[in-house]
A = this chain, B = another copy of it.
Amino acid sequence: MTNSTRAIDALSALGDPTRRSIFERVAAGPAAVGALAAGLTVSRPAVSQHLRVLKEAGLVTESAEGTRRIYRIDPRGVGAMRDWLDQHWDRALAAFSDFVDQQVEETP
């Protein structure tokens, strides 16, 4: 998978508010599925499904500890999003300053 593809998946994954909550909780520290579901209004299977999407997007990793599955934040997806965003950040600044310059010329 290319880095840009991962960035796309990560953006799609974080588009959902519930998944953002889950991701932010995982980002705060490693956690099991049950613990995550306890702090949310949705059921545990729902959390499990969201975690799978986040995992496929490269935003979290999974590791077993007995019957519990511990989820941790994954630098790959976060980094891919960061790279994708940095590209557009540069463009945004350039386009914006061009636009401002143009406005100044038209209204002296």
| Chain A positions near chain B (C-beta within 8 angstroms) | 8, 11-12, 14-17, 20, 23-24, 27-30, 61, 72-75, 78-79, 81-82, 85-86, 88-89, 91-93, 95-96, 99
Q: How far is the CA of A24 from the CA of B37 in the complex (A)?
A: 35
A-B contacts, 19 of them at CB < 8 A, read: A8-B17, A8-B20, A12-B15, A15-B16, A23-B88, A24-B88, A27-B91, A28-B91, A29-B95, A30-B95, A30-B99, A72-B95, A72-B96, A72-B99, A75-B89, A78-B85, A78-B88, A82-B85, A85-B85
Assembly of this chain: how many copies? 2
Whose C-beta in chain B lies nearest to the C-beta of A103?
A: B63
